[in-house]
Amino acid sequence: MRSFLLLALAVLGACSAPPEEPDAEWTRLQQERLQRMYAARRPDAALEGVRQHDPREDLAEPRHIDQIEPPSRRTGATAGKQDSGRPDPRPFHAPSATTNVAIGAGTIGVRVHGSLLDDSVDATFLHAAVETTGGAGLHVDAWSSDGDLFAGLRINDGVDPAAADTTVSGVDVFPHLVFAPVVDDFRLPLRAGVFVDWQSLDHHEAVVEREFLSIGPRVLFEPAWSLLGDGRDVLDLVLRAGGDAGVAWFSEEFVGGDDRDTTARLGGEAGASLRARIGALQAEVGYRLQHTAFGAVDSDLFGRAARTDVQRQQVFVGFGVTW
């Protein structure tokens, strides 16, 4: 009974004790929360607060998300940090194209096997090319000779013998794709495509004209070594070697008639040059040899010619620009 009375008195004493004073720090935090809750919204002030606590120094002006690039692992931006394993960002290169024009002087030789037609003559050459960084390209070659080829010889004009003096001309178009692997200072561009070629033998004195129209696949190798310079200003030694094969349509027109035939065609090219590149400009000087062999044809005037060989050689000077 006595123990029960003591317990009851202790409970009554606890209930009658005055409440404890609230903690001063807790009261201050509650007041700040209420002030922020009812304060006016200020996004600019909030953004400035975030910038003040950001360790980077490049946030003076806000940037769009597409202007921000991940730092390279080889720069100081990530020094001392663990490698994330992500590859470095690929540098951006704007697409461009290179245009070249070359003028050459040399000779053209023509030999018709099984006949007396075997001669060479002075000629001029023009080469134009455009190639893009995407790998597409187009080469166009044109040539024309003096009119003294086969001078002093005579041919049948379809009725009577006549002077065989001849002018040789032609055009070659070569659309292609470019593959250009690079190993140290050595480059091996490979061009592969389809050519269309037209060549004419105009016996102007005899009023006789013979033409070959050809088409077929072609490949052209152009290995290059860097001799001087580095980066965009260099001097290269360039070699050329190529070949083609196809079908040719032969036609001839003469006094009182004409005739047609079809034959095969094989072609080859070799050459060398020095090419200088200074920034976007380019200059080149070199030598070029091209040989075309047409198969046998059978026509009313030409007869059974075993085959016709056309050889072009030139020394050229070229200029180019990348844009």
Residue 117 falls within a domain, yes or no? yes
Residue 28 falls within a domain, yes or no? no
**pLDDT tens column, 190-242:** 999 999 999 999 999 999 999 999 999 999 999 999 888 876 789 999 999 99
* Mean pLDDT, residues 31-37: 78
Residue 207 falls within a domain, yes or no? yes
> Residue 90's pLDDT is what?
53
- Cα–Cα–Cα angle for 147, 151, 152, rounded to 5 degrees: 155
Residue 262 falls within a domain, yes or no? yes
Residue 77 falls within a domain, yes or no? no
Residue 317 falls within a domain, yes or no? yes
* Residue span of the structural domain in which 249 resides: 98-322
Whole-number Å distance between alpha carbons of 321 and 100: 7
50-57: which pairs have CB atoms within 8 A and are 24 or more residues apart? Answer: none
**pLDDT tens column, 129-168:** 999 988 999 999 999 999 999 999 999 888 899 999 999 9
- Which CATH number fits the domain that encloses residue 111? 2.40.128.100
Q: Which residues contact 242 (CB under 8 A, 6 or more apart)?
A: 191, 218, 219, 220, 221, 268, 269
Best CA proximity match to 245, nearest among 226, 228, 279, 268: 268
> Residue 74's pLDDT is what?
47
Which residue did the predictor score with more confidence, 85 or 170? 170
Residue 226 falls within a domain, yes or no? yes
* Mean pLDDT, residues 66-87: 50
**What is the domain count for the chain?**
1
Residue labelled with tokens 């049948």: 156
> Residue 75's pLDDT is what?
44
> Residue 46's pLDDT is what?
72
> Residue 3's pLDDT is what?
56
The count of other CB atoms within 10 Å of the CB of residue 322 is 16
The count of other CB atoms within 10 Å of the CB of residue 36 is 8
Residue 290 falls within a domain, yes or no? yes
Lowest mean pLDDT among 210-214, 253-257, 307-311: 253-257
Whole-number Å distance between alpha carbons of 267 and 281: 32
